[in-house]
């Protein structure tokens, strides 16, 4: 589709938009909870694609190009409008308007609910940058190379960032889940 778009096929642009708009919107909300700003920035990304169609370099991964473009556009907008003083403080992973995680949506028993709360608390203890990396890895399914490109770091740093983030989560929940399991089993 990327090649067809570059050749002037507007149907390919429409298909690219439909394929990525929901994923981009979800990712954009993780960076900033302002739905209108995220929608505007997604529109700007696609307008820039049209404007720069002839000069765009072919990308190995359309998704990386679009995610990185949206991230850069959002950060540019946030800087230019003085909506924040520190980029990392504006990344909002706790906003209830953001999509619910798959784990929270399938929680049906009290045991599962409490387990989810323990994990959520552990994830909330991470920095916003760590949360963003975890989101890209596990919610969007990106590999380390794509994460590195989006976050503009090298692959080794992306691996280290995710490894250390997961290690912190594991340390935070260590033992709590087991205690919860034994507590609920003792009630049976």
The full DSSP string for 43-70 is HHHHHHHHHTTTTPPPPS-HHHHHHHHH
- In CATH terms, the fold of domain 2-90 is Rna Polymerase Sigma Factor; Chain: A (1.10.1740)
Whether the per-residue pLDDT at 82 is higher than 70: the answer is no
CA dist 144 and 87 (Å) reads 22
Residue-wise pLDDT tens digits, 104-150: 444 345 656 666 677 777 778 888 888 888 888 888 888 999 999 99
28, 135 in Cβ contact below 8 A?
Answer: no
Q: Looking at domain 107-187, which of 2.60.40.10, 1.10.3720.10, 1.10.10.10, 3.40.50.80 is its CATH number?
A: 1.10.10.10
CA dist 26 and 13 (Å) reads 20
Whether the per-residue pLDDT at 25 is higher than 90: the answer is yes
Q: Which two tokens stand for residue 119?
A: 């994990």
Residue-wise pLDDT tens digits, 30-80: 888 888 889 989 998 988 888 888 787 766 688 888 999 999 998 888 777
């Amino acid at each position: 589709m990327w090649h067809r778009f570059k050749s002037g096929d507007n149907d390919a642009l429409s298909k690219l938009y439909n394929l990525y708009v929901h994923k981009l919107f979800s990712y954009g909300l993780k960076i900033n909870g302002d739905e209108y700003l995220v929608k505007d920035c997604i529109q700007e990304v696609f307008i820039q694609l049209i404007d720069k169609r002839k000069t765009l370099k072919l990308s190995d991964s359309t998704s990386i190009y679009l995610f990185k473009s949206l991230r850069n556009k959002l950060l540019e907008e946030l800087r230019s409008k003085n909506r924040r003083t520190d980029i990392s403080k504006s990344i909002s992973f706790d906003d209830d308007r953001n999509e619910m995680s798959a784990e929270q949506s399938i929680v049906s028993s009290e045991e599962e609910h409490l387990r989810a709360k323990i994990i959520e608390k552990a994830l909330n203890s991470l920095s916003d940058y760590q949360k963003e990396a975890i989101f890209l890895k596990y919610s969007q399914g990106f590999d380390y190379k794509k994460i590195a490109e989006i976050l503009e770091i090298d692959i080794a740093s992306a691996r280290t960032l995710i490894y250390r983030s997961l290690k912190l989560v594991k340390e935070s929940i260590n033992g709590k889940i087991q205690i919860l399991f034994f507590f609920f089993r003792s009630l049976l």
